[in-house]
Structure 1
Amino acid sequence: MSINTVRALLEDAAATHGDKVAVKLNEKSISYSELLTRVNQVAFYLTELNLPSGARVGIYSDKCIEQVVAILAVLSTDTILVPLTKMLVAEQVEYIINDCDIQCVITDKLKLENIEDVNFKGHVISYEKTEQNIPCFEEIYKYYNKPFQCEVNSHDNAVITYSFGLTGTPKGIVISHRNLTDSAAVVCRYLGLQEDDVISGLLIFNLDYGLNQIFCSLFKKATLALHRFILPTDFFNHLIDDNVTVLALMPVHISQIFDEDLSPIPNAELFDKLRIITSSGGNLSAKMIKYSKRTFPQANFYSMHGLTEAFRSTYLDPAQIQIRPDSIGKAIPDVELYVVNEQGKECAPREVGELIHRGGYIYRGYWNAPEESKERFKSVQILKDVINLEGQLNDEIVVATGDYVYKDEEGYLYFVSRHDDMIKTRGFRVSPFEIESVVEKNLPQISQCAVFGIDNEQIEEEIVLVYSAPGELSEKEIEFELKKHLASYMIPSRIVYKRSLPLMQSDKHSVNKEALKRELTAD
């Protein structure tokens, strides 16, 4: 087995810190030694299923210690992990299952019904005992005690995470075992994580930012304290009761945490153990930073910018967060970043261009999507007018991010926009096409619709749906139909009826979304 795998991190932690608490959730906890034992039992059971090498295994459940066991068990075998966020509805789960041919799903009682709704034909494993006589972790822990030998290699594919692409359908990004350990190592380095840290497991484990909290905990032999965010009061109690020292957030969480209508903010002295806060997955506002610094004065605040196609590109030094709060910072260690214009030349300070990511942490590409991969994963030759490529290997891959940014005179980067019209809301990327397609298929009363985002400081962008129809429909009727097909974060917060929609001059079949956006924001 390669040393550059998450499995190797787990074995090392169990060998040197076996009695230490590895993962906890409220009053429940598990040591590193117990964690390895349970992971081995589930991994051994997975090998007993005789799945082909590289088979995809989905994990579709609420957050719990068993979910962490399941993630590490899959990463201990030659199968590939496909995290499925609990926010997805059955229709979206079915799409991902079919897209990457998932052959086994690990789930809990609450999500088992959705798996049954999609008529999944593969193996199903539940954390708890069920009336359907499905194999469960309780039985596996009881009966599977044989030795388990892990044989994974660092260059093997480890994870496929799904996000929404230009076509509106989820696209899987392929991540290797080496990618996972490298990303843990670099985060531990630039954040200065320590063995005695308690890392909050607030984020869901569907994308690399959330998964990285698990792997950083293993890398430093720290403790991961899981938390299911419901109300700000619960969150503040989590920080205090679990003695959290490292907290990873998205801007949407910060908005929810400091919603004074929901909960009073406790005294800052209660959070004196919290020393690091990270934020990624959206733009921070000055108000978010102000509240965070006031409530957590001892904590260094790291604003970060990540990619779908690579683990991370930038972070902003905490000393700069109040000096240049709008900046996404500079390149993380082992990464080179360039801002390039349409002619392939490096942009001057304040000139907007596309961000090109070169160096470490680049992922494998999109699953079964060669055209989409070609759009983002480019030869280093696209930088031929920016850097000296003499003697360089022509097959080196860089990422053309699709993010448009500029640098200031000191080299700090600032995000401007996406190349496409993706909506970024509550930490998620949402394709307007996905919502428009659901409307077209399921609401035949609607003649035309347009979906787009409008700036909202609390959640970055709110989703707006504008439609035309012979007569106005009930908003509740539209929302009811959308909720049957879309995750909760994809439901528009504003639904607007118009007798007709403005069309593009160049294409009378396309709605002029910019005209609609100007009209609505002028109100």
Structure 2
Amino acid sequence: MSINCMRAVLEAAAKSQPEKPAVVLNDQQLTYAQLFTRVNQVAFYLDELGLPKGSRIGIYSKKCIDQVVAILAVMSTKHILVPMTQFLKTEQVEYIINDCDIKCVLTDQKHLGAIEQSNFAGKVVCYETTRSEIASFEEIYKYYNKPYNSDINGHDNALITYSFGLTGTPKGIVISHRNLIDSARVVSQYLDLQQDDVISGLLIFNLDYGLNQIFCSLYKRATLALHSFILPDDFFNHLINDKVTVLPLMPFNISQMFEGGNQRLPSPELFDSLRIITSSGGNVSAGMIRDCKKQFSQAKFYSMHGLTEAFRSTYLDPSQVEIRPDSIGKAIPDVELYVINENGKECAVREVGELIHRGGYIYRGYWNAPEETAMRFKSVEILSDAVDLEGNLTDETVVATGDYVYKDEEGYFYFVSRHDDMIKTRGFRVSPYEIESVVAKNIPQIKQCAVFGMDNEQIEEEVVMVYSADKEITKKEILFELKKHLASYMLPSKVVFKRSLPLVQSDNNRINKDQLKREMSQGL
């Protein structure tokens, strides 16, 4: 088996730290030895299904210890993991199932109905015992006790995560086992993670930032403390009771924990053991940093910038977060970053151009989407006017990120905008096209519809929908219908009625969203 896979890391951790808590959730916990045993039991069962090598296996469930077992079990086989957030609606899950031809889904009792409603024809395994025809983890743990041997190559595909591409439909990004081990190694290095750390498992395990919580815990033989943010009081209790030392967040989480005023915040001394806070998935405001510094005075704050097509590009050193809070920092180890203008030349200081990522942590490409892959994954030759490539092999791949940035005199990068019109809200990437398509299909009274994002410091951007119809439809009616088809974070926070929508002069088939944004910002 390759050393470049998380399975090898799990085996080594179970051997060296068998009695240490690996994952905890409230009063439940598994040691590394117990985690390894359960992962082997589920992996053995998955192999017995007889699926072809490389079959896609989905996970659609709540956050729990069994979910961590499921993730590591799939990654111990020669199959490919497809994690799906529990916030997705049935038709969105069905889209992903069909797009990558999922053969088996691991789920919980709460989400079992949604899988069955999607007309899924593959194998379903539930964490809890439900019906006799559906296998359960409870039964697997009871009856599957044979030794399990894993044989994984580091270059094999490990998982497919779904985000949103330029066309607006969800696109799966293919990630190898080697990618995952590299990402755990580099994060552990620049954060200086330790074996006695307790890493908060707050983020959902559907994208690489959230999954990296699991992988860094394994890599350092640390403890992963699971938590689902519902109320700020519960969140603070999680930090105190679990003795959390490393806290990965998204900017939206920071807004959640501090909303409502300071009068109910626990004493800062209760969090003296918290030594690291990380934030990715959106821009962090100076106010968010101040709040964190005040409440978690002993913690170093790392602001980071990641990509869909590569694990991470930059981080801002904690010593700089109050000096230049708007910066996304500098390149992480083993990465080179360039800012290129439309002529392929390297931009001057403070000149805006496209960010090009060269070096480590680049993923495989988009699943079954060669056009989207070709748009983002480029030959290193696109840097030929910026760097000396003499003697280099031109089949090296770099990522043309679609992010427009500039670099200051000291080499710090600053994010300006995205090439496409994707909306970043509450840590999620939302496609206006998908929302507009749902409106067109399900609310026939609406003649035209435009969806876009507008700045909101609390959640990065809020989703705004402007529509035209013969007569105004109440926001309540519109949201009632959209809730049937869209995840909660995709629902518009503002719904505006207009008799007609402005069109782009050069293309009367396109709504002029820039004009609508200007009107909205001016209160028109």
Within 2, Cα distance between the matches of 1:380 and 1:497?
47
**Secondary structure of the corresponding residue to residue 415 of structure 1:** strand
| Contact 1:335 1:360 survives alignment (8 Å) | yes
Structure 2 unaligned segments of length 5 or more: list them: none
Instruction: Summarize the Cα distance change of 1:262–1:72 in structure 2 as closer, same or farther, 3 Å threshold.
Output: farther
Instruction: Summarize the Cα distance change of 1:258–1:132 in structure 2 as closer, same or farther, 3 Å threshold.
Output: farther
| Contact 1:303 1:315 survives alignment (8 Å) | yes
Within 1, Cα distance between the matches of 2:311 and 2:165?
17
| Contact 1:232 1:262 survives alignment (8 Å) | no
Partner residue in 2 for 1:486: 486
5 Å matches for 1:324-363? 324-363=324-363
| Contact 1:23 1:30 survives alignment (8 Å) | yes
Partner residue in 1 for 2:469: 469
Displacement of 1:261: 5.5
5 Å matches for 1:269-418? 269-418=269-418
Within 1, Cα distance between the matches of 2:38 and 2:306?
32
Partner residue in 2 for 1:174: 174
Normalised by the size of structure 2, how large is the TM-score? 0.99
Partner residue in 1 for 2:496: 496
Displacement of 1:168: 1.4
Q: Is 1:118 paired with 2:118?
A: yes
Instruction: Summarize the Cα distance change of 1:84–1:332 in structure 2 as closer, same or farther, 3 Å threshold.
Output: same
Displacement of 1:480: 1.1
Identity %: 73
Partner residue in 1 for 2:445: 445
Amino acid of the residue matched to residue 49 of structure 1?
Answer: L
Displacement of 1:481: 1.1
Within 1, Cα distance between the matches of 2:189 and 2:167?
37
| Contact 1:45 1:140 survives alignment (8 Å) | yes
Displacement of 1:103: 0.2
**Secondary structure of the corresponding residue to residue 354 of structure 1:** strand
| Contact 1:403 1:418 survives alignment (8 Å) | yes
Within 2, Cα distance between the matches of 1:319 and 1:23?
31
| Contact 1:281 1:306 survives alignment (8 Å) | yes
Displacement of 1:131: 3.3
Displacement of 1:133: 3.5
Partner residue in 1 for 2:427: 427
1:219-256 per-position Cα deviation (integer Å, ceiling 9, x unaligned): 00000000011000000000000000000000000000
Within 1, Cα distance between the matches of 2:262 and 2:70?
34
Q: Is 1:92 paired with 2:79?
A: no
Q: Is 1:10 paired with 2:10?
A: yes
Displacement of 1:262: 9.9
| Contact 1:357 1:399 survives alignment (8 Å) | yes
**Secondary structure of the corresponding residue to residue 225 of structure 1:** strand
| Contact 1:232 1:263 survives alignment (8 Å) | no
Within 2, Cα distance between the matches of 1:365 and 1:262?
45
**Secondary structure of the corresponding residue to residue 520 of structure 2:** helix
Amino acid of the residue matched to residue 149 of structure 2?
Answer: Q
Within 1, Cα distance between the matches of 2:299 and 2:261?
25
Displacement of 1:165: 1.2
Displacement of 1:414: 0.2
Within 1, Cα distance between the matches of 2:166 and 2:391?
36
Partner residue in 1 for 2:268: 268
Within 1, Cα distance between the matches of 2:74 and 2:489?
28
Within 2, Cα distance between the matches of 1:140 and 1:159?
23
Amino acid of the residue matched to residue 205 of structure 2?
Answer: F
Within 1, Cα distance between the matches of 2:130 and 2:476?
35
5 Å matches for 1:67-82? 67-82=67-82
**Secondary structure of the corresponding residue to residue 230 of structure 1:** coil
Displacement of 1:503: 1.1
Within 1, Cα distance between the matches of 2:91 and 2:509?
28
| Structure 1 outlier segments of 4+, above 3 Å | none
Q: Is 1:27 paired with 2:13?
A: no
For these two proteins, the number of residue pairs brought into alignment is 523
Within 2, Cα distance between the matches of 1:180 and 1:404?
26
Within 2, Cα distance between the matches of 1:229 and 1:318?
25
**Secondary structure of the corresponding residue to residue 229 of structure 1:** coil
| Contact 1:233 1:263 survives alignment (8 Å) | no
Partner residue in 1 for 2:109: 109
5 Å matches for 1:39-50? 39-50=39-50
Q: Is 1:65 paired with 2:58?
A: no
Structure 1 unaligned segments of length 5 or more: list them: none
Displacement of 1:307: 0.1
Partner residue in 1 for 2:242: 242
**Secondary structure of the corresponding residue to residue 510 of structure 1:** strand
Displacement of 1:316: 0.3
Normalised by the size of structure 1, how large is the TM-score? 0.99
**Secondary structure of the corresponding residue to residue 507 of structure 2:** coil
Displacement of 1:178: 0.3
Question: How well do the aligned residues superpose, as a CA RMSD in angstroms?
Answer: 0.8
| Contact 1:231 1:262 survives alignment (8 Å) | no
Within 2, Cα distance between the matches of 1:161 and 1:210?
11
Displacement of 1:519: 0.8
Amino acid of the residue matched to residue 468 of structure 1?
Answer: S
**Secondary structure of the corresponding residue to residue 447 of structure 1:** strand
